[in-house]
Amino acid sequence: MSRRLVGVAAAPGRARGIAHWIVHDLPPVPHRTIGAGEVEREIARFEVARERACEQIAQLRRVTARQIGEIEAKIFDPQLLMLEDPELVDGTVSYIRENFLSAERAFDWRLLEFRFRFLDSAHHMVVDRLADLQDIRFRVLSDLHDGLGVDLAVPDQPAVLLFRELTPSFAVGLDPERVLGVLTMGGTRAAHSAIIARTLDIPAVVGIGTDLEQVAEGTSVIMDGGSGRVIVDPTEEEIEAYERLVTHLKLRQETRDEGAAGPNYTKDKVRIRLAANLDAPDGVRAAVRAGAEGVGLFRSEFLVIGRRVIPDEDEQYQAYRTVVEAFPEHDVTLRTFDIGGDKFPLFLDMQSEENPYLGWRAIRVCLDRPDLFRSQLRAAVRAGAHGALKLMIPFVISLEELLRTREMLQEVIASIPEESGDRGIPLGVMVETPAVVETLDLLAPYIDFASLGTNDLTQYVLAADRGNVRLAHLADPLHPALFRMYHRIRETATQSDVDVTVCGDLPTDPIGLAALIGLGYRQFSIPASSFPVVREIVRSVSTSDLRQLCDSLRDRTITAEIRAPLADYVEAALPADTASAVHLSVGVTGR
């Protein structure tokens, strides 16, 4: 009997193969003390090992830049900074000098303290730096103690590789010809190893947890890096369904028929625009290949999370320009730094907050730190000269925030030579707080567009933390309150002549997509991996039928009474072969 595992969709693509564990845990470092006369020698040993590790990482960075790309190579910068960090270096030396520990023991103890500090942060993007700690631990300890080496051999036959923790150094060496896919116990979509997997087009599901330990070596698995689903020991029926899905999607890709690469239309010929979500510039290739009509949500946090210094203007400019130039005929919407909540850079003094999701975050941080914000705005204005760049402000609750942002943007534009920047960058807001929902008509004269963020809006309207597993059954984006709210937002935007794009997770759920189309939304920004299924839904549904259905559902008081009729409609609208593909890929019955 098969088993199902669910993790975080980290790199799109599907794979079926044999599971092979890569265990790269170092053996325990022996506890060794030294005499007073050996202290300086041990300190020198540590310094040599640290310098060699820096040289190795710098060389790997150069190779990565040459073979994969400069942006991807930057993932090794935090490791170099860690190895130069006075807290790490001086702390290790202190353990040697004051506690008479061997160099390897002192370094390992100091790293253990860093590890606990990262784990205590509870911020998943900071926890992702654990893989960087593991990388530098390998290098320094292997130099200090030759007997600590481990076997990282990849099997001769293509396989799905399983890791407790995939480090960046190992990720850049993965061979797409021999690695069918990657499954990990820890990590997030923003982890450096996940970025590399996406760049190499290797499907990956991360953050599966301890359930992955139950997958034995040599077990047959099916994985979907676009949905985060894994099937262990699949049945014959599940294997056949998987093969049908792969064949179906391959045929769609090869034929490049209507809707595969060009404009997308519903069954009754209504135009639907599909743009891509990007976590970093490394996602450009997948977005272009998917046929994205621009970028509806370009998250900029990759530039600052885990960093000890503010990224300079030129680094930001190059990153933004890379994406803008990849879509010469379409808009790219850059979201300004959405830090705070579960994401914070190390260069900010962000105090512990009882409820960080309702604390100092996003536009509040940017307006309080004009040095950080102006640098981003200048980089964005300069990048705008190379295409159609738009700026989107997250977590807005008031007109004052919007006016201060617009004033700062105008100051930045005036300070940049005309030939170096776009003179008219559109400015919009995320509709993700109840305050903006209620005042959208008042904000409309001051914005050029809006983006509906269903993820945060769901947790704020329903008072249910979306990261709390115990509340998952409550945080349904098709709750009657939200369903009515989506309708009101669309009506207000239409009356105010404001374009609205939906950029949350809801459009990737077939039922949610059907609901949004029925409520009048025509522009969506989704992950590149979701394009095949979303296109299938779009081409199979009728906007007029869905409008009538949604009109009849606005007075429903139970979520299931909204979901069930929409699920029945989608099920009936899809052709048989497409329906089975959608079932396997995302589960058409929804929650």
Give every CB contact of residue 319 below 8 A, 6+ residues apart in sequence. Answer: 71, 280, 281, 303
Integer Cα distance of 413 and 407 in angstroms: 10
- Catalytic entry in 248, 386, 479, 503: 503
Edge-first strand order for the sheet with 179-184 is: 3-6, 229-232, 220-224, 14-21, 159-163, 179-184, 204-206, 8-11
Nearest to 183 by CA among 207, 167, 199, 201: 207
C-beta neighbour count of 303 within 10 angstroms: 19
Phi, psi of 563 (to 5 degrees): -65, -45
Residue 264's SS3 state is strand
Strands 179-184 and 3-6, sheet pairing: unpaired
Is residue 437 within a helix (H) or strand (E), and if so which, with residue range? helix 434-443
Is residue 411 within a helix (H) or strand (E), and if so which, with residue range? helix 399-415
Question: What is the chain's Cα-based Rg?
Answer: 25
272 beta partners: 264
Question: What is the identity of the amino acid at 47?
Answer: E
Integer Cα distance of 7 and 312 in angstroms: 34
Instruction: Read off the DSSP letter of residue 153.
Output: P
Integer Cα distance of 27 and 588 in angstroms: 46
- Catalytic entry in 192, 248, 386, 487: 192
By CB atoms closer than 10 A (0-12, 13-18, 19+), residue 26 is: middle
Per the CB < 8 A criterion, the answer to whether 538 and 272 are in contact is: yes
Is residue 265 within a helix (H) or strand (E), and if so which, with residue range? strand 264-265
Residue 192 known to be catalytic: yes
Give every CB contact of residue 345 below 8 A, 6+ residues apart in sequence. Answer: 304, 305, 306, 307, 308, 310, 339
Active site residues: 192, 503
